[in-house]
Amino acid sequence: MTERRVTGSHRRGEDEAGVRESIAGARRVVVKVGSSSISSATSGMDTMRLAGLVKALADAHDAGRDVVLVSSGAISAGMSPLGLARRPRDLAHQQAAAAVGQGLLMERYTELFAARGLLAGQLLLTVDDMTRQASYRNASRTLGTLLRMGAVPIVNENDTVATHEIRFGDNDRLAALVAQVVRADALILLSDVSALYTSHPDEPDSERIGFVADVDSLTVDTHRAGSAGIGSGGMTTKVQAVQIAAGSGIPVLLTSAQEAERALAGATGTVFAPVDHMRPRRLMWLAYASQSRGRLTLDEGAVHALTVRKASLLAAGVTGVSGDFLAGDPVELAGPDGVVVARGIVNFSSGDLPAMLGHSSTELASAMGAEYEREVVHRDMLVLMQHGD
């Protein structure tokens, strides 16, 4: 089977060898493992696989590296005890399985890390935790404190309280956001495949990809799902996770869970270079972690002002408002064609904005008061959505 390299715009000097070296030397690394890599529908948790993973992580910790584990598997760990042969589709049974399985999963991780003299700490996060700035700061503070105290944080989505509308649904994006929160030097995604392929590995013309210089230039077929009956993600969510991490300046490696030790050394799988122009860290929360509460539709002039002139959004350029939101909430900013061009923190509620549409700041100040003269979204509180976002 041939191997492909995907070239494009990336950090100067960051060739494949350089990216692999960066991952091998990463002082702080976030490792994500999928459900299908540590469990099965028939027998639940796979103790041998868990032990192999923990050994690799403990070895890295003993070598002086900070390690954060983002682990799926709560639902799959609870399936066998509840007599479920396949991952349930309805939310109620998923939450029941997670309620049973999360404790079992953490118990096993705690035992395995304790055998190496390490303390494991559990963090269960929801989209809301990563959306609201106060909760986001709290999660960052907790993770940082655990790492400073020498513990191994184990993060999972809190499936027992998440809803279909407000949930990550998989841990790939969560892992990328955690990597950004803890200022990780590398992100490793462990799955049930050894690398990224141009299409499903079973396809006869599929090619293995060893290096991706620009994830936004990547063109692969990810329509086929992963392991049936266990995992919730797939290669699509992993590519999205890479986009998030690379946008934060974090190199990424993708490989199978069995290759965890070699992955930590940067010696296997597919590696992805960080992008050349990193987005400001304070805007990564807005771009990727926030849950939009509504949408503002803009005219062509406003789209040009935001995307070309890098200006703030004024009421005169807004033609429509949808959703129910308050001042300070994240909203999408879409052009006349419905394509989202930016996300931003809005300065007015959905109740106030309709009366303001199409009016200049001077007109608003005269008719409604000086407090209405400010921007609808200030340029410092918006982020443009690039290709692939």
3-class secondary-structure state, position 86? coil
Report strand pairing: 252-256 vs 186-191: parallel
Q: How many whole angstroms separate alpha carbon 68 and alpha carbon 187?
A: 10
Residue 159 is assigned to a ligand binding site: yes
237 marked among binding-site residues: yes
The reply, when asked if residue 43 is annotated as ligand binding, is: no
The residue to which tokens 């994830």 are assigned: 215
- The answer on whether 234 is annotated among ligand-binding residues is yes
To the question of whether residue 335 is assigned a binding role by annotation, the answer is: no
32 is in an annotated binding site: yes
Query: Is 192 within any annotated ligand binding site?
Result: yes
235 assigned to a ligand binding site: yes
Interatomic CA distance for residues 238 and 253, integer angstroms: 10
Query: Which ranges of the chain would DSSP assign to H, the alpha helix?
Result: 16-24, 35-38, 47-62, 74-79, 91-114, 127-131, 133-148, 172-181, 235-247, 260-264, 281-284, 300-307, 361-368
- Helix, coil or strand: residue 292: coil
> 55 among the known binding-site residues?
no
Pick from 199, 190, 243: nearest CA to 49: 190
Per the annotation, does 191 bind a ligand? yes
b/e per residue 326-364 (b: at least 16 CB within 10 A): eeebbbbbbbeeeeebbbbbbbbbbebbeebbebebeeb
Which residue ranges are tagged as binding site for substrate?
72, 159, 171
Which residue ranges are tagged as binding site for ATP?
32, 191-192, 232-238
Which residue ranges are tagged as binding site?
32, 72, 159, 171, 191-192, 232-238
